[in-house]
Structure 1
Amino acid sequence: MPAFIVARLYRALPLVVILAVIAVAIYVIVSWRYTPAKAKEVLIKCFIVLNAALSILFVLATLYAWLEGNAFVADFFITLLVTTLICLGITFVCRWRFLKHNPNYRWKLTGRATKGPRKK
């Protein structure tokens, strides 16, 4: 049984490696250009969008494979779906921790808010 679980996770390894390379590239480029805190904020936003989009894609691919009666492909996409959902959950935990330790990123100006007058 454990070998079966390891074999399933092994199939998702290329996806995890690609996501890790994307994360390192985004963090290095944005932290070089701005600050490490801004890099973390951008990375969290990008990964929420990326993992949500991948999850939707893998749900649709799984449904299509089931409708076609292809159990192996459906099993493969379920493995990838679980991987992206775990990554999405980890991203939300990272976002929670980031906002806890960086409260200045918590409040953003909205369209209804106005800036006060400048002090001279």
Structure 2
Amino acid sequence: MEGNLKQILSELKGIKTDIGELKGIKADIGELKGIKTDIGELKGIKTDIGELKGIKTDIEELKMGQARLEAGQQKLQKNLIESLGTYTEKITEHVDDKTEVLNKRVYKVESKTERLSRQ
């Protein structure tokens, strides 16, 4: 009977050891659940990184668009200045032509007046 008791005691010690190991496994499972949560958070971060890459692309496109707008604005300013110069020249030529015509008329009138005053 004493042998049976020793055998039962030995088996109980083995069960106690197994229970201790199960408690360790349970703690490991708790850690794995924490790791699973961390993995979920990492997936969220991965999604955020994807969104940031999209924003980076948008910013690059905006910068390129801004550069095109600035180039277009410079070209527009240059064309505007050239057009103003051209129109100024045309106006000056027109005024000069009109002045020349008026000067010729005044000369003819003065010539006739001078001829008439001599007679």
Fold similarity call, TM over 0.5: no
Q: Which structure has the bigger radius of gyration? A: 2
Which has the larger helix fraction? 2
Q: Which has the higher contact order (CA 8 A, sep 6+)?
A: 1
TM normalised by structure 1 equals 0.29
